[in-house]
C-alpha cells in the first residue's frame, strides 16, 4: 500500500514538473510569435507612414475618389527634388526609424523623377525632368478606353493672357483640333479651364477630341518683363494622352482623370524597402500615396 501512495505522490509531482515545462515552452514560442508579429506591424506601419509623405516631398497632391484620380501640382519645381528626397531619406534613417529597421529606395532617385502609375489601368503621370518645366500623362492607346473624361484646370500665377479668345475650335483658339467622328478610335471628353494672373478665364468648348490626331492649343502670355507661351497637347504621339509645356511661367495645375471603373490605385514608381534586421522580415513595394 505504501508503495502505491509513494508512487502516486511522485507521479503527481512529476506531472506538475512536466506541466511547468510544457507551459514554459509554450511561453517561449508565444514570445517569438509576438516578437515577429510586432516586427511585422512596425515594418508595415513605418512603410506606410514614409510612403504617404513622398508626394509631399515631390510637391504633388494625389487623391483617388471613386472613379476619379486627381493630381494637384505646382510647376515649375521650387526646390531641388533629388536633394529633398535624399534629405528625407537621411532624416528617416537617422532621426525617425527605429534603430533595427533598415531603409532604402530602389532605384535610387537620380536622373529622372519617379512616375506616378495609375495601376492597373496603365496611365502614367510624369515629369520629363526634375525641374518640372513640363508634365505628361501617358498610356498605351488601348487603355484610353478606360477614360471617360479629362478635366484640366490651370491657374497661371505669373502671366496674363496676351490674346483674345474667339471661342472657335479648328482655326480659332486651337492651333490644331480634330473632333470625333464615326471612325474615331479613341475619343476624349475634355474640360479645359485656364485662369490668368488677373483672374481672366478661358473655358474651352472644344470637346470631344479625336486622340488619333494631335490636338494643340498654344496660349500667348505676357507679364511686365516677358512674353511666353503655354502649350497643351492631346493625343496622336504614341502613348500621349496629354502634355503641358510651360517655359518661364508659373502654373498651379489640377488634372482629373475620370475612369469607367473604381478598381485602380495610384503608386509612385519607386520601391521603398523597409527591413527589420533582427527578424529579417521586410516590406518591399511601390509606394502608394
Partner 1 sequence: MKKGFVFTLDAIIAFVLAIIVLGALAEIRADESGGNNRILKLQQTSLDVLNTLDKDGTLNNLFEQTDEDATTTLETTLNELLQAKLKGRIKIDTYQYETGGTCTTCTLSGSTPTNNFCHCRSFNTPLIAKSPAASSKRVFYYSNNKPTVGIATIQVWQE
> Using the rule CB under 8 A, is 19 a contact of partner 1?
yes
Burial of 188 from C-beta contacts in 10 A (0-12 / 13-18 / 19+): buried
Least separation in angstroms between residue 169's CB and partner 1 is: 39
Least separation in angstroms between residue 14's CB and partner 1 is: 10
**For residues 94 and 225, which CB has a smaller minimum distance to partner 1 in the complex?**
94
Within 10 angstroms of residue 69's Cβ, the number of other Cβ atoms is 22
> Using the rule CB under 8 A, is 102 a contact of partner 1?
no
Identify the residue among 33, 35, 52, 247 touching partner 1 (CB under 8 A).
52
Cis before residue 107, ω within 30 degrees of 0?
yes
* Sequence-separated (6 or more) residues with CB below 8 Å from residue 242: 136, 137, 150, 152, 232, 233, 234, 255
> Using the rule CB under 8 A, is 15 a contact of partner 1?
yes
Identify the residue among 36, 61, 88, 273 touching partner 1 (CB under 8 A).
88
> Using the rule CB under 8 A, is 21 a contact of partner 1?
no
> Using the rule CB under 8 A, is 59 a contact of partner 1?
yes
> Using the rule CB under 8 A, is 33 a contact of partner 1?
no
> Using the rule CB under 8 A, is 245 a contact of partner 1?
no
Q: Which backbone phi and psi does 117 adopt, to 5 degrees?
A: -105, 125
Query: Which cell is 161 given?
Result: 493672357
Given the rule CB under 8 A, which of 51-59, 105-113, 117-125, 193-201 is the region that contacts partner 1? 51-59
Distance CA 222, CA 232 (A): 17
Least separation in angstroms between residue 124's CB and partner 1 is: 22
Q: How many degrees, rounded to 5, is the angle at CA 284 between CA 279 and CA 289?
A: 125
For residues 76 and 246, the answer to whether their CB atoms sit within 8 Å is yes
Distance CA 234, CA 241 (A): 5
> Using the rule CB under 8 A, is 79 a contact of partner 1?
yes
Least separation in angstroms between residue 254's CB and partner 1 is: 18
Identify the residue among 29, 35, 49, 237 touching partner 1 (CB under 8 A).
49
**For residues 1 and 164, which CB has a smaller minimum distance to partner 1 in the complex?**
1
Distance CA 179, CA 204 (A): 13
For residues 72 and 253, the answer to whether their CB atoms sit within 8 Å is yes
Identify the residue among 39, 43, 47, 57 touching partner 1 (CB under 8 A).
57
Distance CA 116, CA 69 (A): 11
> Using the rule CB under 8 A, is 78 a contact of partner 1?
yes
In this structure, the strands spanning 240-245 and 134-139 are antiparallel
For 100, the enclosing helix (H) or strand (E) is none
Identify the residue among 39, 50, 187, 272 touching partner 1 (CB under 8 A).
50
Identify the residue among 21, 96, 100, 168 touching partner 1 (CB under 8 A).
96
Query: Which cell is 25 given?
Result: 515552452
- Residues at the site binding partner 1, with contacts judged by CB under 8 A: 1-2, 5-6, 8-9, 12-13, 15-16, 19-20, 23, 27, 34, 45, 49-50, 52-53, 56-59, 78-79, 81, 83-84, 87-88, 90-96
Amino acid at each position: 500500500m505504501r508503495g502505491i501512495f509513494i508512487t502516486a505522490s511522485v507521479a503527481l509531482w512529476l506531472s506538475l514538473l512536466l506541466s511547468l515545462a510544457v507551459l514554459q515552452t509554450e511561453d517561449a514560442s508565444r514570445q517569438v510569435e509576438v516578437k515577429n508579429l510586432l516586427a511585422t506591424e512596425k515594418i508595415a506601419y513605418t512603410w506606410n507612414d514614409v510612403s504617404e509623405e513622398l508626394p509631399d516631398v515631390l510637391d504633388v497632391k494625389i487623391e483617388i475618389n471613386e472613379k476619379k484620380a486627381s493630381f494637384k501640382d505646382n510647376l515649375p519645381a521650387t526646390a531641388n527634388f533629388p536633394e529633398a528626397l535624399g534629405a528625407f531619406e537621411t532624416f528617416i534613417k537617422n532621426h525617425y526609424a527605429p534603430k533595427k529597421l533598415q531603409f532604402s529606395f530602389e532605384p535610387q532617385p537620380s536622373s529622372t523623377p519617379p512616375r506616378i502609375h495609375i495601376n492597373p489601368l496603365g496611365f502614367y503621370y510624369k515629369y520629363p525632368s526634375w525641374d518640372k518645366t513640363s508634365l505628361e500623362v501617358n498610356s498605351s492607346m488601348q487603355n484610353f478606353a478606360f477614360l471617360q473624361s479629362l478635366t484640366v484646370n490651370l491657374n497661371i500665377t505669373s502671366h496674363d493672357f496676351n490674346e483674345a479668345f474667339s471661342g472657335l475650335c479648328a482655326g480659332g483658339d486651337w492651333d490644331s483640333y480634330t473632333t470625333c467622328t464615326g471612325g474615331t478610335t479613341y475619343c476624349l471628353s475634355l474640360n479645359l479651364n485656364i485662369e490668368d494672373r488677373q483672374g481672366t478665364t478661358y473655358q474651352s468648348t472644344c470637346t470631344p477630341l479625336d486622340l488619333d490626331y494631335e490636338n494643340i492649343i498654344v496660349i500667348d502670355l505676357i507679364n511686365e518683363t516677358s512674353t511666353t507661351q503655354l502649350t497643351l497637347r492631346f493625343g496622336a504621339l504614341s502613348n500621349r494622352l496629354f502634355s503641358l509645356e510651360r517655359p518661364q511661367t508659373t502654373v498651379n495645375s489640377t488634372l482629373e482623370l475620370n475612369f469607367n471603373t473604381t478598381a485602380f490605385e495610384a503608386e509612385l514608381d519607386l520601391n521603398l524597402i523597409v527591413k527589420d534586421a533582427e527578424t529579417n522580415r521586410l516590406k518591399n513595394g511601390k509606394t502608394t500615396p
